[in-house]
Amino acid sequence: MTAVALEVKDVTYRYDALEALRGVSLTVLEGEAVAVIGVNGAGKTTLLNLAAGLLRARTGNLHAFGEPMGRSKLRDHMRRGIVLVPEGRHIVTRLSVADNVLLGGSCRGWRRPAADAVAFAYDVFPELAELASRRAGQLSGGQQQMLAIARALVASPRLLLLDEPSQGLAPFVAERLARSFQQLQEAGITMVIVEQNLSFARQCTSRLYAIAQGLVRFTGTWSEFAAGEDVISSYL
């Protein structure tokens, strides 16, 4: 039986008067790639930030690889191999591509990351190896997104959390990114991908959770999702 990588159970979270999550539950098995979809303000990023350790749930439980993580800090999550690629990339534009990639090691508290982890990041994104000496701020949007993911890979993630990875990318760049996600899954990395681009999300994942107004409204495969036209219309 495949082990559970991430289990979120009956989680709630509130921003002052706004209840962002209202009893959300989610389960992701090791090696899976699962999408979380929904319109802006649905609670997707809040859920991802809880899983990453950036936020703490008001109520409910969160386990990662069998360990309770609900009260753990961001650094604890990272040391267990839970790594977030945030929306907006947050690369260090004044540093070179190579230096940005190496920064991924700091997620685990390493002064210098393992050579094989760096090699894997460049194997997934060979484009970056050719641009290693260039300042990150000179890269295109697509290249910057690749760099943000490569930096996360250097932390040797077991669970990779990606927030809107296709945002602002040209279709051909998004397709390139989708192929890289297949390579990550083949390497055994579990992924949770928050997306509004349903076409992109479907390329990268086998099943999904659809969230609206802080509640899970649908969970299942993409084929099951496509069969419910009234459900789809709520997420376009």
How is residue 75 written in tokens? 């650094």
Are the beta carbons of 151 and 103 closer than 8 angstroms?
A: yes
- Cα(192)–Cα(144) distance, integer angstroms: 20
- Cα(4)–Cα(21) distance, integer angstroms: 22
Among candidates 223, 225, 166, which has minimal Cα distance to 193? 166
Q: Write down the domain spans for the chain.
A: 1-81+202-236
CB atoms closer than 10 angstroms to residue 170: 12
CATH of 1-81+202-236, one of 3.40.190.10, 3.40.50.300, 1.20.58.390, 3.40.1160.10: 3.40.50.300
> Model's pTM, two decimal places?
0.93
- AA identity, residue 81: G
- How do residues 127-172 score in pLDDT, each as one tens digit? 999 999 999 999 999 999 999 999 999 999 999 999 999 999 999 9
- Cα(4)–Cα(209) distance, integer angstroms: 16
List the chain pLDDT tens, one digit each, 236 residues: 689 999 999 999 999 888 999 999 999 999 999 999 998 889 999 999 999 999 999 999 999 999 999 888 888 888 889 999 999 888 999 999 999 999 887 666 556 778 899 999 999 999 999 999 999 999 999 999 999 999 999 999 999 999 999 999 999 999 999 999 999 999 999 999 999 999 999 999 999 999 999 999 999 999 999 887 666 566 54
